[in-house]
Structure 1
């Protein structure tokens, strides 16, 4: 009961957010409860910080923010698990194209020795574009196998703990297991878990998640309406703790300590309790490290398209054609150095076109809202289409 505190915290981070967070009773709960005493008198945080290094980029201004959010970190870490099949297909096509070119270049080389050229595992850039769902409310997770595993394993633990009572009329193992499960459920139901997990403003904004310069993937998330999460704000993971958390954590720690003393005094059939704790610990480890889809984290996304190219600059240019400002917002991250003259000319022109489109949309919205009168009907910006940008240089 005194090992695996970090595992318990990560498992709680995975499942927290609702009234029922089935993280099973295990050997790590007492150590975790004592850690929360330090939290109660310190920064008063329950949710762990992101365990996957990543950044969040504003899709319009290009401002880069280091991500501290557990939820966004897991979205980036698990992307290859939940990405749509279309994205996987596009990435494989890019890798195949790069491998074909590398093979041709090797054959042209004077020191070519007939050996096969190894296929690269990462090349170019793939930007996957998603929109937040308008039909599903953010902050309400979808229950998946990770969630239901806690309920199933808890029932198994109770089943194992009742065996000593059936065989030896020893009720202590069942009582300790039941008490441990109840305390675990109460700990996971503290209101601050939900407040920390989805603490951010709500507004229509575009944010791009990636790991670093040189990453294979970038995830662009467009807020569909004013109720969408502001992912930039969510990335800061800045929340004020609750006084109820300080009081509740202290009381729960005392109760866990009392349970530990009770376990230490057990003299009959300790192996059944060891089995119960071992089963719970395995469940905690699996839950803490499991890959999950965005909906299970309360962020509901709808796939729109992906832009995958062997050359990063070409990928950003094509993205800019489809989504003004978005390609330019990634430029400083993936090309922090000096641009070639033709590239600079392209991006200067792209900026002017994007600003003109923004102005046209703003004027059109004013007309729709009846805030201003303009002589002559202005066509919708969407009906005008995006001007075509032409770049004659070779992307690097």
Structure 2
């Protein structure tokens, strides 16, 4: 057992707290990882605001890179000293999806069996089964993906969630091919990553859509060839105009709202693909003409974690980053200390950053 500093959300809407946390030694199938850097993701803020559940207190953070310090009995995929990116899809290998050769849809992903706790023994719920705003965390060994140690932790850790979700929405779910046209509605972290993914796949026309000109200008840095401010232009008509009157081959909806999904539906070409990667709230509903769904053909897909397989996709994207072919470091807007997370949430809400990244090597004293 070790005691380290970590950031928790104790109650809905309350400021986050830096506290002492007990981390058990690695048990069978588990690993203890010393966290070097962890991105501040919208999902963490959803935990704070009660938008995911009420299993407080939550140990926040999940987009992380670090060094394996301990492994438990039976662990073979990583060893002490390995540089890893954490993931929340540790596939089981035995469920229906895994057995049919589609482990990226695994229905029984693994987390650590033991629980991290507060000093008084209160069990913590780790965000997405990880909990990485902490000096050291306990995870299932399958949640550790070894990558090239040349990748900076602040950049590499971002593969653990939002960047992978966006890139995977384009490449894995959307199946973007060379020469195709792609429109991305919503240019936050996942949407911008989808733009970068479309560029990586060789799309010839990449249309970025947002209400914020700052985000649209930023989208060009990641590969957008055209931008559309949806406050000023009709999204569907403009996308059609930019694609020869046809609509885009792939439209990625990265907002998660009925009105933007409807735009995506009508902005695609016949037999085109719509990919939903934006996360809706439980109360949202949408109505579409069934004849239009039938008549347009193609596919309407949802992308969960970019339909990624971490052991395949994380090393591949890390290698492309180190080769200068994937601009992973551009997603890092700023690096911050472990006491600055509330302020990072505020910046994120104002659209001022793609990602703030917490550096954990020198976690400060608890308040």
Higher helix share: 1
Q: TM-score, normalised by structure 2?
A: 0.22
Higher strand share: 2
Quick check: which has more Rg, 1 or 2? 1
